[in-house]
Amino acid sequence: EVQLVESGGNLVQPGRSLRLSCAASGFTFGDYAMHWVRQAPGKGLEWVSGINLNGGGIGYVDSVKGRFTISRDNARNSLYLRMNSLKEEDTALYYCAKDSGDIIVGGSILDHWGQGTLVTVTS
């Protein structure tokens, strides 16, 4: 059974940093692209970032470019999101999602999702 467990969410002040982690199990992690998707309180879904199976291809939504960095450790079956210079508008539940394919370009089918980790940015 595929399991994705996010962690690292917290209450932080604007301008600070945070690192989210996603522990994957139940599938061969290194064979699939992975993504982060967020949902602000009471709002819809927003794709944040994706990474190819080997980390060779990466994408970000414009609003986080230059501030967030996605990475993965296939040996540890883990996905990460380093979030710098956090803004209040980054407040959201952050989901880790598995792609059904190995690259993010052209069509990402997010076939499994974690339960999310909450990031709250406030002064």
Partner 1 sequence: QFVLTQPPSASGTPGQKVTISCSGRRSNIGLNPVNWYQQLPGTAPKLLIYSNNQRPSGVPDRFSGSKSGTSASLAISGLQSEDEADYYCAAWDDSLNGDVFGPGTRVSVL
Residues that bind partner 1 (CB under 8 A): 35, 37, 44-47, 50, 59-62, 95, 100, 104-116
Would you say 66 or 107 has its CB closer to partner 1? 107
Would you say 82 or 103 has its CB closer to partner 1? 103
Going by DSSP bridges, is the β-strand pair 92-99/3-7 parallel, antiparallel, or unpaired?
unpaired
Q: How far is the CB of 50 from partner 1 (least distance, A)?
A: 7
Would you say 3 or 13 has its CB closer to partner 1? 3
Annotate 23-91 with three-state secondary structure: EEECCCHHHCCEEEEEECCCCCEEEEEEECCCCCCEEECHHHCCCEEEEEECCCCEEEEEECCCCHHHC
Q: How far is the CB of 35 from partner 1 (least distance, A)?
A: 7
Q: How far is the CB of 57 from partner 1 (least distance, A)?
A: 10
CB of 29 closer than 8 Å to CB of 77: yes
